[in-house]
Amino acid sequence: FPIGFFLFNLIMILIFGEFYFYWNRNIKITEENNKYLEEKFNELRKNYFFLKLSYDQMEKSYVTKPVTIRGAIHKIKTMFAGNKEPYGELVKMMSQLFKIDRATLYVKDSESVDFREAGGVGPTVRLKSDDPLVEEALMEKNLTYVSSIIKEDRGDSSEYLAVIPVFNGGIPAALFLIKDIAFTDYSKENLLLINLFLFYSFESLRSAGNIGGLKRYLGRFDVDFLIEVDRLYGIWQKFKIDSAMIVYSLKTDMADSEGENNEFASFIDGKVRNLDMVCRFDGGGAMSIAVLLPFTGRSGAQSFADRVHNGIAARFGKLFSDKVSRYIMLIDVEPEKLMSEISADE
């Protein structure tokens, strides 16, 4: 029996197997990194769009109808994360932005097969599943609309000016029926804006509804921060990719004024990178700031903390920096436990 030949090939198989395992794992980790970066890029792109939309809206009616779109969306996400129905606020906001006089939003719950009325402005617009615009919207998975002049002359005319669907993984999740809108605002461009607005809002609501036990911390921490912690923990569970959090605490009696507190918070905010996230919260008698560092291990977090510490000493003085406490932790435990560790009253 050729023992040498057999053992040589067996060793080669083991080596190739190990190589395949590590190579395949690195590919999956890289794919997850790219997926996360793409999601963050999409969020930044959407935020830029809504910033521009807010600016345009301010230019149009900053005296009579001030509307802060990003602030309103943040309020809606917080409501949804706290198990409150935000759809009425969502429709109200869209009616203010796009001068919609009569419209109704219908949503479909995950366990239901039928749409239910969730919110509206003006008299209720009844949903008719056999309406040509509704049928086309569900079939094409895109917004449908007709001219108010054409719709009066067609035999198969629709009762709606526009129907805007929202899909979740190919399954219809909502229908927005517009019955009456200001003539000057009834355009394809505005309808596309409403479509994008609805899509972004429902994407945000879906993320806010998946934070589970973190909902108990909504009063103290920002909802976007909690969503990010939950997302990074999910990545760690699947691929063991480390992410870190650094918590800075400053006793309130240390600061001479609220302005110094704000200056310290602005300094920390200016030190983070593009993907990092900062959340300021009250830590039981101390002004606390949590810095989230995606895809950063303990050594990287320690290096970041040292740079910030040196910057604090240079900016505020060594005496001040020595009294600022910091705590580094990895996001490798349940998010509820992690948040309880940095909450002073737990």
236-247 pLDDT tens trace: 888 888 899 999
> Residue 160 CB: number of other CB atoms within 10 A?
28
* DSSP type of residue 252: G
Instruction: Specify the higher pLDDT residue, 157 or 173.
Output: 173
Residue 153 has pLDDT above 60, yes or no: no
Average pLDDT of the segment spanning 222-247: 88
Residue 130 φ then ψ, to 5°: -90, 5
For the chain, the residue count is: 346
pLDDT at 56: 60
pLDDT at 259 over 70: no
- Give residue 154's pLDDT: 47
The pLDDT value given to residue 105: 92
Query: Are the CB atoms for 209 and 226 separated by under 8 Å?
Result: no
Strands 116-121 and 144-145: what pairing? Answer: unpaired
Residue 151's pLDDT band (cuts 50, 70, 90):
very low
Residue 53 pLDDT grade (very low, low, confident, very high; cuts 50, 70, 90)? low
104: confidence class by pLDDT, cuts 50, 70, 90: very high
Q: Are 287 and 261 in contact (CB under 8 A)?
A: yes
Residue found by looking up tokens 């200016």 in the block: 270
Q: CA 185 to CA 148: how far, in whole Å? A: 13
pLDDT at 57 over 60: no
pTM recorded for the entire structure? 0.67
Q: Which residues contact 144 (CB under 8 A, 6 or more apart)?
A: 133, 136, 137, 162, 163
Six token digits for residue 237: 């569970």
Q: Read off the pLDDT band of 51 (50, 70, 90).
A: low
* Distance separating the N- and C-terminal Cα atoms of the chain: 69
Q: Could you report the per-residue pLDDT of 61-92, keeping only the tens digit for each?
A: 444 444 456 666 777 777 777 767 778 888 88
Banded model confidence at residue 325, pLDDT cuts 50, 70, 90:
confident
In this model, does residue 275 exceed pLDDT 70? yes
Give yes or no for a contact between 186 and 179, defined as CB atoms under 8 angstroms apart: no
Average pLDDT over the chain, rounded to an integer: 80
pLDDT at 260 over 60: yes
pLDDT at site 293: 92
